[in-house]
Amino acid sequence: MRETWRWFGPNDPVTLDHARQAGAAGIVTALHHIYDGRAWRDEDVAARQRAVEDAGLTWDVCESIPVSAAIKLRQGAWRRDVDAWRDSLAALARGGVKTVCYNFMPVVDWTRTDLAYPTASKGLALRFDMPAFVAYDVFVLRRPNAERDYSAATLAAARARFATLDAAAFALIEKNVIGGMPARQAEYTRAGFVEALRPYAELRPADLRANLVAFVAEVAPVAEELGARLAIHPDDPPFSLFGLPRVVSTAGDYRALFEAVPSSADGLTLCAGSLGSRADNDVVAMAREFGSRVHFAHLRNVAREADGSFVEAEHLDGDVDMVALVQALLDEEARRRNEGRGDWEIPMRPDHGHLLADDIGKAGVNPGYSCVGRLKGLAELRGVTRALRWRAA
Point out the residues that are catalytic. 233, 271, 298, 351-352, 369
Q: Phi then psi for 364, rounded to 5 degrees?
A: 80, 0
Cα Rg, the chain, nearest whole Å: 20
Closest CA to 32 of 188, 180, 246, 173: 180
Q: Which residues, in sequence order, are CB contacts of 63 under 8 Å at separation 6+?
A: 6, 28, 29, 30, 100, 101, 183, 233, 269, 296
Exposed/middle/buried for residue 164 (C-beta within 10 Å: 0-12, 13-18, 19+): exposed
Preceding peptide of 237 cis, ω within 30°: yes
Contact present, 388 and 324 (Cβ < 8 Å) = no
Report which secondary-structure segment, H or E, holds 18: helix 16-21
Reduced to 3 states (helix: H, G, I; strand: E, B; else coil), residue 97 is coil
Whole-angstrom CA distances from 85 to 75, 79, 92, 218 are 16, 10, 11, 10
Verify cis geometry, omega within 30 degrees of 0, for the bond prior to 370.
no
CB 22 within 8 A of CB 173: no
> What backbone phi and psi angles, to 5 degrees, belong to 3?
-85, 120
